[in-house]
Amino acid sequence: MNAMNAQTHFDLVILGSGSTAFAAALRAQELGKTAVMSEERIPGGTCVNRGCLPSKNLIEAAKLLYDAKNPRYPGISPTNLELDFQALIKQKDDVIAGYRNKKYESLLGTGFYIEQGHAEFVDAHTVQVGEKQLSGENILIATGSRPVLPSIEGLESVPYLTSDLLTSNESMELTECPHSLLIIGGGYIALELGQMFHRFGTEVTILERSQQVLAHGYEPEAGQTIGTIFQEEGIQIITQASVSSVRQETNAVVVTVSMGDSTQEFRAEKLLITTGRRPNTDNINIEKAGVLLGEKGEVQVDEYLKTNVSHIFAAGDVIGSEISSQMATPVGSQDGGIVAHNALSDQNQRSVNHRVIPRAIFTDPQIGIVGMTEKEAIAAGHRCWCSAIPMSLVPRAGAIRDTKGVIKMVADAETDEVLGVTMVGNSAAEIIHEVAMGMRFHAKLYDFIDLIHIYPTMAEALKIAAISRYKDPAKLSCCAE
């Protein structure tokens, strides 16, 4: 991975080599300081190697298959494309390897490098990596997160997959598409991977203990809408399902579920666990550095990403934010640069600003989210105006025969400042950035109304949602205000 380096003391020692770590190392280099990262496996972290990038590659492939078999337009006949799953996995691996080399490995050797091996603290200034001890004036904990496993009877003796199943260098890598799949959990990972496998031809059942999918931290309309769409597509969703045990039978995993006063068994070839992630802090001897952790094992930091130990910082998934976990690469990259600035620069300290972080769920249709939900806005003391309108009111949605979805806008009823938007619809992951930019500058409803939007585009959904504060958008002509 890199040439041998005899140096053992650095301005910045980084535990990890993902997006957060690389951003910090690059910023340290720009400041003329020395930095070193550590890595047990391959550089790039979860997002590049086992999460965001590989899953989105395969999700798009699954969409191509589905759209060919299910054309939206009369006059276009369905086409059954053949799936070579092993070839698909190989191209995914090639894409990931190329991206990792271009954006990570090729940057090594010019002012910073990676020390290969497991990293753990010796004391507050020293980190052991394999056989080598590295000391630093400053230390950044950027060890990321990993899938968390629920406490379920029999799980330890049953083969299962986690959200890391898409990695190219793990024993749990799938080389054959399963005939059937049970998914425990109904969050964004379950939805993305569940729909993907369904479109590859897998019979998918999602088991969710709450009343709907996306039950926590999202507008209820998002889970209700996408849940209905999934079921119409043929994905089985079982809600209010509490998994009590699992066991292995010949060629099948059996999951026993409590549903009120009754129990039911579900069988599938494979079992996928998507019940969240936890920070990687339990195997780095963090107590030797004196760093405090939260209840879920997350590193506690202040607004400058500094821990209770003044020269030790933390950023990325390891600080435990659910938003950070869903937005691992962009949030981690920005925060990594902030850490290097605060640790190594003599300029004023920079604080993090996580007020406006756009998020997306890459289902079909996509889900774009930014800012507060209605529930969160009320809890924050706002008197809310909220409106949820169907995507069928958006002209382009009708023109391209893709009217599935809803958009909900949340604003302060007294000032009309937009506090949050959730959009379920075509291209929502792209469109949500308009809201994010507006919210950065405290945009009000009229700003979205007054902005001329190209006709017909899906982005007009924002204008139509804002107009609904004053008028019934169903009774307006095209582009009218």
Give the start-to-end residue ranges of the domains of the chain: 9-44+104-146+278-344, 155-275, 359-474
Contact call for residues 231 and 205 (beta carbons, < 8 A)? no
Beta strands in 309-454 (DSSP E): 312-314, 359-361, 366-371, 384-390, 406-412, 418-425
Q: What is the pLDDT along the chain (481 residues), one digit of tens a residue?
A: 444 567 899 999 999 988 899 899 999 999 999 999 999 887 777 777 777 888 899 999 999 999 999 999 999 999 989 999 999 999 998 998 888 877 777 677 767 789 999 999 999 999 999 999 999 999 999 999 888 889 999 999 998 888 775 433 343 467 889 999 999 999 999 999 999 999 999 999 999 999 999 999 999 999 999 999 999 999 999 999 999 999 999 989 999 999 988 999 999 999 999 998 889 999 999 999 999 999 999 999 999 999 999 999 999 999 986 544 455 677 888 999 999 999 999 999 999 988 899 999 999 999 999 999 999 999 999 999 999 999 999 999 999 999 999 999 999 999 999 999 999 999 999 999 999 999 999 999 999 999 999 999 999 999 999 999 999 998 888 776 7
The predicted-structure confidence for 67-115, as pLDDT tens digits, reads as follows 999 999 999 999 989 999 999 999 998 998 888 877 777 677 767 789 9
Rounded to whole angstroms, the Cα distance separating 104 from 428 reads: 29
β strands within 196-260, DSSP E: 203-207, 236-238, 242-249, 252-259
DSSP string spanning 39-58? ESS-TTHHHHHTSHHHHHHH
**CA–CA–CA angle 299, 301, 306 (5° rounding):** 115
Q: Does the fold of domain 359-474 match that of domain 9-44+104-146+278-344?
A: no
CATH of domain 155-275: 3.50.50.60
What does each C-alpha distance from 471 to 176, 348, 387, 453, 466 come to in angstroms? 53, 47, 11, 18, 9
Maximum distance among all alpha carbons in the chain? 73
CA distances from 27 to 199, 334, 336, 354 (A): 42, 10, 8, 20
Provide the CATH number for the domain formed by 359-474 in this structure. 3.30.390.30
CATH class given for the domain over 9-44+104-146+278-344? alpha beta
Note the pLDDT tens digit of each residue in 287-324. 999 999 999 999 999 999 999 999 999 999 999 865 44
